[in-house]
Amino acid sequence: MSAHPLVRVDGLMKRFGTAAPVFADVHFRIEEGEFVCLIGHSGCGKTTILNVLAGLDEASDGTVLFADRELDGPSLDRAVIFQGHALLPWLDVESNVAFAVRSRWPRWSAQQVLGHVAHQLDVVGLRHAAKKKPSALSGGMRQRVGIARALAIQPRMLLMDEPFSALDALTRGTLQDEVARLCAETSQTVFMITHDVDEALLLADRIFLMTNGPDARIAEIVVNTIPGPRRRQDVHHHPAYPALRNHLLDFLIERSRGFDAGATNYDPKNPPEIRLVA
Ligand SMILES: Nc1ncnc2c1ncn2[C@@H]1O[C@H](COP(=O)(O)OP(=O)(O)OP(=O)(O)O)[C@@H](O)[C@H]1O
| Ligand 1 geometric centre to CA of 125 (Å) | 34
Dist CA 200 CA 249 (whole Å): 12
User: What's the average model confidence in pLDDT over 100-128?
Assistant: 94
| Ligand 1 geometric centre to CA of 78 (Å) | 21
* Sign of CA pseudo-dihedral 69, 74, 75, 79: positive
Q: Is the CB of 43 under 6 A from ligand 1?
A: yes
Q: Is the CB of 14 under 6 A from ligand 1?
A: no
Dist CA 82 CA 147 (whole Å): 9
3-state secondary structure of 160: strand
User: What's the average model confidence in pLDDT over 117-123?
Assistant: 92
CA angle 67, 72, 73 (to 5 degrees): 115
Amino acid identity for residue 201 in this structure? L
Share of the chain above pLDDT 70, in %: 99
pLDDT band at 85 (very low <50, low <70, confident <90, very high): low
Q: Is the CB of 46 under 6 A from ligand 1?
A: yes
Pocket test for ligand 1, best of 22, 192, 194, 252 (most atoms within 8 A of CB): 22
Q: Is the CB of 42 under 6 A from ligand 1?
A: yes
> Phi and psi for 126 in degrees, rounded to 5?
-125, 20
At residue 18, does pLDDT exceed 70?
Answer: yes
What global pTM score does this model have?
0.94
89: preceding bond cis by omega (within 30 degrees): no
| Ligand 1 geometric centre to CA of 213 (Å) | 10
At residue 84, does pLDDT exceed 80?
Answer: no
Residue 67 burial class via C-beta count within 10 angstroms: exposed 0-12, middle 13-18, buried 19 and up:
middle
| Ligand 1 geometric centre to CA of 147 (Å) | 24
**pLDDT recorded at residue 46:** 97
For 38-61, the pLDDT digits (tens) are: 999 999 999 999 999 999 999 999
Low-confidence winner among 4-8, 166-170, 206-210, 213-217 (lowest mean pLDDT): 166-170
**Nearest to residue 125, comparing CAs of 95, 145, 139?**
145
User: What's the average model confidence in pLDDT over 238-245?
Assistant: 97
Q: Which residues of 130-157 are buried (b: 16+ CB within 10 A; e: fewer)?
A: beebbeebeebbbbbbbbbbbbbbbbbb
pLDDT band at 6 (very low <50, low <70, confident <90, very high): very high
> Which atom, in ligand 1's list, is nearest to the CA of 17?
4
For 182-232, the pLDDT digits (tens) are: 898 889 999 999 999 999 999 999 999 999 989 999 999 999 999 988 989
Q: Is the CB of 271 under 6 A from ligand 1?
A: no
At residue 2, does pLDDT exceed 90?
Answer: no
**pLDDT recorded at residue 83:** 74
User: What's the average model confidence in pLDDT over 232-247?
Assistant: 96
Q: Is the CB of 90 under 6 A from ligand 1?
A: no
